[in-house]
């Protein structure tokens, strides 16, 4: 199985297969501070039709200018409210979006960077970053589900995706956060990864829950203990990229 997964990894874990993906916005910026901010925003809106996601994110980052981190640091609450009044995406209204951005601004002002904020909430004794996700959610205390509630059963798919971008390092993932380790990452569980995991025999259920996410992650970890989400991007291309589908995986397994 590892050799087949690695074959897909070597074939699809390449920059030319990124589009369509919210991650492409992160790659527009070269400064770590901007990549962190853009990554958190882009991953948090990674729900629904991918082309609608990209259209919405284009409008957000156009408003934030050349440096989204500088925009948040240097813009008053009044300006952010004014700039994003009338914005919406699916069930997220403008006040949800503004609240989210103001929380990121608070993190930048109080911690200096998103990575330092994350580090302040990290417990090195924990086996995965799931409880870290819960603490991040609790600190934001949002009225929306842009970061799911910390007391629920969420698999935190979008935070798991963000952490993959920030922690892993290869041709796709940036590896910006050297203080964290890939072995504690969790599979970003959505309908595509659930379908793929069922094909692989890693789960029998389609439930999008933390239990299922940790079960699937555990199966990948048996194959790659130090990097269980290594194959996530390549595998997810089979469900997301318009020119690819599950047939290639089904033919392997």
Find how far residue 215's CA is from the centre of its chain.
Answer: 19
Tokens at 26, concatenated? 């992160």
Evaluate the omega torsion of the peptide bond into residue 20 and state whether it is cis, within 30 degrees of 0.
yes
Q: What is the pLDDT of residue 245?
A: 77
Q: Give whole-number Cα distances, 179 to 6, 15, 111, 182, in Å.
A: 26, 25, 15, 10
- Which residue did the predictor score with more confidence, 236 or 79? 79
Give per-residue pLDDT as tens, 192-207. 899 999 999 999 999 9
Choice among 6-10, 72-76, 236-240 with the minimum mean pLDDT: 236-240
pLDDT confidence bin for 142, thresholds 50/70/90: very high
The kind and range of the H/E element at 106 are helix 94-111
Q: State the average pLDDT over residues 60-85.
A: 98
Residue 38 in contact with residue 25, Cβ under 8 Å? Answer: yes
Residue where the block lists tokens 């609790």: 138
Q: State the average pLDDT over residues 168-173.
A: 98
Q: 5, exposed or middle or buried, with CB in 10 Å at 0-12, 13-18, 19+?
A: buried
* pLDDT over 70 percentage in the chain: 100
Choice among 74-78, 195-199, 236-240 with the minimum mean pLDDT: 236-240
pTM of the model: 0.96
Q: State the average pLDDT over residues 113-120.
A: 98
Residue 169 in contact with residue 226, Cβ under 8 Å? Answer: no
pLDDT confidence bin for 252, thresholds 50/70/90: confident
Residue 109 in contact with residue 73, Cβ under 8 Å? Answer: yes
Q: Is the pLDDT of residue 147 over 90?
A: yes
Q: Is the pLDDT of residue 176 over 70?
A: yes
pLDDT confidence bin for 108, thresholds 50/70/90: very high
Q: What is the pLDDT of residue 71?
A: 98
Give per-residue pLDDT as tens, 4-53. 999 999 999 999 999 999 999 999 999 999 999 999 999 999 999 999 99
Q: Is the pLDDT of residue 248 over 90?
A: no
Q: Is the pLDDT of residue 239 over 80?
A: no
Q: What is the pLDDT of residue 253?
A: 66
């Amino acid at each position: 199985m590892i050799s087949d997964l690695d074959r897909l990894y070597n074939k699809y874990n390449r920059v030319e297969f990124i589009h369509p993906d919210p991650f492409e916005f992160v790659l527009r910026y070269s400064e770590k501070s901007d990549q962190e901010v853009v990554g958190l925003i882009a991953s948090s809106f990674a729900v629904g039709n991918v082309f609608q996601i990209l259209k919405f994110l284009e409008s957000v980052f156009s408003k934030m200018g050349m440096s989204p981190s500088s925009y948040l640091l240097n813009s008053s609450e009044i300006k952010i409210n004014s700039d994003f009044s009338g914005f919406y995406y699916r069930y997220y209204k403008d006040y949800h979006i503004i609240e989210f951005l103001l929380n990121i601004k608070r993190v930048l002002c109080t911690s200096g960077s998103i990575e330092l904020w994350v580090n302040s909430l990290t417990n090195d004794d924990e086996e995965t970053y799931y409880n870290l996700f819960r603490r991040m959610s609790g600190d934001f205390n949002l009225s929306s589900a842009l970061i799911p509630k910390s007391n629920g059963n969420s698999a935190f798919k979008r935070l798991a995706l963000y952490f993959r971008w920030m922690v892993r390092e290869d041709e796709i993932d940036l590896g910006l956060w050297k203080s964290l380790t890939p072995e504690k990452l969790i599979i970003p569980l959505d309908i595509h990864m659930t379908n793929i995991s069922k094909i692989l025999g890693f789960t029998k259920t389609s439930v999008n829950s933390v239990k299922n996410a940790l079960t699937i992650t555990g199966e990948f970890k048996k194959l790659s203990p130090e990097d269980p989400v290594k194959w996530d991007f390549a595998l997810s291309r089979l469900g997301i990229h318009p020119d690819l589908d599950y047939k290639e995986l089904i033919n392997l397994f």
